[in-house]
């Protein structure tokens, strides 16, 4: 981890990923910052997240590119400290409690259209290690069921001020039935249980209207770029 006045950077445990955020430098300094961060782990794939459009163009000039699927180059940060509506009565939500549950949750995530076959294969190959890492994180994952069938899943990481939501997906055949809203409610209940009743999320345009309908407010538009070796996801 590097906490610098120009950026905040963390490197994944396996040295494969570099996450760079809180970017605060002049566009003209982008090539030097780009080289400095990649020097932390030359073989790693770097993810750059910023609300500043001027830095996006500067980083592109330094060698960054759009991220691979299912990620998109821009999304919206939203937050809420308001209690969302109760879940639809015919949607049952259960917490992921085992590796088998985890596999079901990930397969639901991979059912979305944004994934390429290559990215799906890479994600499945890493499932045992991903599960081990997820168990070390505060927070959890949840699965929504309709008529006893698993149809949607979502995760969250617990932070000091609330839950950061991620990994939500609903099987195409079950959309429009309230599953996503039920998963929002389940994670709100977890945030309340932890004593931090607030939720934040990075949303793409497909989920943003639902989030706003249950009380989330827009914080800003964020941009994400990638650099380093080409990744499968």
Whole-number Å distance between alpha carbons of 134 and 157: 9
User: Is position 39 within any domain?
Assistant: yes
Using alpha carbons only, give the angle 207, 142, 205 rounded to the nearest 5 degrees: 10
Could you tell me if 47 and 155 lie in one domain? no
CA 119, 121, 125, 130 dihedral sign is: positive
Residues 159, 86, single domain; the answer is yes
Q: Which domain holds residue 55?
A: 2-64
Q: Are residues 41 and 134 in the same domain?
A: no
Q: For residues 26 and 94, state if they share a domain.
A: no
Residue 104 in any domain: the answer is yes
Question: Has residue 233 got a pLDDT over 70?
Answer: no
Question: Is it the case that residue 150 has pLDDT exceeding 70?
Answer: yes
In a domain, 156, yes or no: yes
Q: Which two tokens stand for residue 187?
A: 């994670």
Looking at the whole model, is its pTM more than 0.85?
yes
pLDDT digits (tens, 9 = 90+) for 4-56: 999 999 998 778 899 999 999 999 999 999 999 999 999 999 999 999 999 99
């Amino acid at each position: 981890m590097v906490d610098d006045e120009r950026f905040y950077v963390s490197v994944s445990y396996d040295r494969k990923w570099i996450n760079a955020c809180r970017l605060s430098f002049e566009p003209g300094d982008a090539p030097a910052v780009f080289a400095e961060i990649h020097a932390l782990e030359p073989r790693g794939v770097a993810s750059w997240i910023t609300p500043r459009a001027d830095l996006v163009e500067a980083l592109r000039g330094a060698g960054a590119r759009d991220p691979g699927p299912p990620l998109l180059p821009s999304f919206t940060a939203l937050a809420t400290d308001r209690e969302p509506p109760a879940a639809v009565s015919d949607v049952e939500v259960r917490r992921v409690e085992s590796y088998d549950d985890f596999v079901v949750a990930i397969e639901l995530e991979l059912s979305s259209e944004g994934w390429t076959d290559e990215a799906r294969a890479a994600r499945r190959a890493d499932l045992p290690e991903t599960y081990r890492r997820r168990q070390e994180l505060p927070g959890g994952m949840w699965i929504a069921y309709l008529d006893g069938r698993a149809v949607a899943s979502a995760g969250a990481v617990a932070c000091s001020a609330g839950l950061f939501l991620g990994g939500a997906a609903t099987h195409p055949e079950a959309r429009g039935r309230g599953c996503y809203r039920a998963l929002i409610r389940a994670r709100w209940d977890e945030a309340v249980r932890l004593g931090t009743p607030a939720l934040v999320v990075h949303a793409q345009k497909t989920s943003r209207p639902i989030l706003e309908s249950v009380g989330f407010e827009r914080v800003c538009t964020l941009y994400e770029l990638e650099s380093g070796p080409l990744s499968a996801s």
